[in-house]
Amino acid sequence: MEPIDATAFETLVVNAMDELPDALLELLDNVAILIDDEHPDEPLLGLYEGIPRTERDDYGGLELPDRITLYRLTLCDACDDLEMLADEVLVTLVHELAHHLGIDDDRLHELGWD
C-alpha cells in the first residue's frame, strides 16, 4: 500500500497501545515507543533495543529507557490496506513488547504471534 503520513501512522500506534490489556501495560518498565521511517540496514517492521526485564539486575538508576521502534514505511510496504496495516502495527508492537518482557521469537511463535 502507499505509505500513510507520519501523523496517521502515529494514530495507528496509539490505537494499538489502547488495545493492549492493562495487565500487559503494567509489566512495562522504562521503555519508549518510537516511530521511524525505516531501519537503516535491513527491512525490519520493528526493533527492540534494551535489557529484557528477565535479565535486569540492579536496573533502575540512570539508565536510558529501552527502545521499541516501529518502522512506518516498511510496515506500510508489507500491507495491502489500512485495516491490514492497523493489524500489523498491533502484532509488531506486541512482538517487540514481548522481547522487552524477555519472551523470545520461539515462544512468540508458540503463542501464535508470528
Which CATH number fits the domain that encloses residue 34?
Answer: 3.30.2010.20
Whole-prediction pTM value? 0.92
Residue 54 has what pLDDT? 87
Residue 57 has what pLDDT? 73
Gap between the Cα atoms of 52 and 79, Å rounded: 29
Gap between the Cα atoms of 108 and 27, Å rounded: 17
- CB–CB of 30/67 below 8 Å? no
Residue 48 has what pLDDT? 97
- CB–CB of 97/46 below 8 Å? no
Residue 60 has what pLDDT? 57
Q: Is residue 33 part of a domain?
A: yes
Low-confidence ranges of the chain (pLDDT < 50): none
Q: Is residue 1 part of a domain?
A: no
Quote the domain boundaries for residue 15.
6-56+63-110
Q: Which long-range contacts (CB under 8 A, 24 or more apart) does 21-25 make?
A: 24/97
